[in-house]
Amino acid sequence: MEFRSAHFSGLSNMVLSKIHSVGWRVRARRKSTDNDARGRLVQACGYALGVGLTSGLIWHSINDLSALSALLNRFGSIHAFFGMALVSGLLLAGLSAFSGVASAILVMAEAAPRIAFGGALLGILPFAQVSDAPAGKPGAGQASSVARPEMQVGFYMGQSIAPRSDVRIKGPDDTDLTLKKVKWKSDSFRPSPYYGGRAIDWNTRMPAFGAMVDYTHAKATADRKQILTQTGKFEGKELPQTEPFGVTLRKLEFTHGLNYLAINGIYRSASLHRRIIPYVGLGLGFTVPYVHARFTGKPKSEQVLEAQLSGVAYQVLGGIEWRIFKSDRRSLFTEYKLTYTTHDVDLKRGRRLTTNILIHQFNIGGYFTPWRQGSGVAAH
């Protein structure tokens, strides 16, 4: 009898213990679901706001591009930073909208093969499966904590290098000259220094792929000590083949910002190590340099000192994200980025200056992850 009582007591404790354990797990799952729902609500609000703001920006730019240029120049006294930040914010909202549309397209793309082949092959095609790795304890080489949809924001600094390039100046006053292989200085660590900021939305359906909006504040200053090789005429006068910089052109700078904003497609690999994540990207954007140009012997009223929407930026990049902190919401990254920028800027007297500048960039920066699927919105 005592044996039965003891046996029944032990069995009861075991059952109660299991019930308690199941209840705890259910509550934890509900909390995680609530966080996911909150994160999806934040995304949905971002998508809706992004569509409205981006559509308004595009419509306004098409109808009145001069107003956009004037907006940027209102912030010229502080290197057009806040002007570009405003446009960055609008395009970041557009990034959210773009990511939402991309997710919808991927859903349809996944549905097509499933409908066509799923019945015949019983759903065993690789592309018909969920792309995330199965959950498990994150080991040294596991990537389950990486292959999840998330949003990241980052800031970086570093060294930029601009190789020599040709500069052409043309105007209605019989001016048409080409300066060959102009030497540029980057002065990456002198005020205002080289820096950049970005935001990445890793896709909900395919978390190895993301869309990134990337703003860069670089610099390019024509070296005043160089000897120029040139061809052409200035105000109807034939120019010598070589002459010191400063004889014709007193100053040519994109010092307060050779700014460019690009939207990039990003791919990351989680196969190397869960804390070492290599990535590559390709992007396209536009350039808004702060132009400072003045000809020798001309009054100060004829100098150009303003931000202009001047051309296109093409860029490729590759780097490694280092998740070395205890909290995986914070990480560092090292990166190489190559950007090819085109510029067609307005000068006084109806003249135009055109040049293409290639920029090598060696960056180091940090990421913060405000939202990740399964973790909800980060607490402040």
Tens place of pLDDT for every residue, the chain, 380 residues?
444 444 444 444 444 344 343 333 334 444 555 556 666 676 666 666 666 666 665 565 555 555 555 555 554 444 444 455 555 565 555 665 556 555 555 555 555 555 555 544 444 434 433 333 444 444 443 444 555 789 999 999 999 999 999 999 999 999 999 999 999 999 999 888 999 999 999 988 888 999 999 999 999 999 999 999 999 999 999 999 999 999 999 999 998 889 999 999 999 998 888 889 999 999 999 999 999 999 999 998 999 999 999 999 999 999 999 999 988 899 999 999 999 999 999 999 999 999 999 999 999 999 999 988 876 555 54
266: Cβ contacts below 8 Å, ≥ 6 apart: 200, 209, 210, 211, 212, 279, 280, 281
Q: How far apart are CA 119 and CA 133, in angstroms?
A: 24
Helix (H) or strand (E) holding 160: strand 150-161
Q: 94 in a domain, yes or no?
A: no
Write the DSSP assignment of 90-133 as a string of letters.
Answer: HHHHHHHHHHHHHHHHHHHHHHHHHHHHHHHHTT--GGGS--SP
Q: 102 in a domain, yes or no?
A: no
Q: 266 in a domain, yes or no?
A: yes
Question: How far is CA 380 from its chain centroid?
Answer: 24
One-letter amino acid of 191? P
Q: 117 in a domain, yes or no?
A: no
Closest CA to 332 of 368, 281, 371: 368
Dihedral sign computed on CA atoms, order 5, 11, 17, 22 = negative
Q: 263 in a domain, yes or no?
A: yes
Q: 170 in a domain, yes or no?
A: yes
Q: 217 in a domain, yes or no?
A: yes
Write down the pLDDT at residue 42. 64
Bridge partners of 293, per DSSP, are: 252, 304
CATH code of residue 149: 2.40.160.20
The range of the structural domain enclosing residue 340 comes to 141-372
Q: How far apart are CA 375 and CA 148, in angstroms?
A: 10
Q: What total of structural domains would you count in the chain?
A: 1
Helix (H) or strand (E) holding 149: none
Residue 361: both structure tokens together: 């960039």
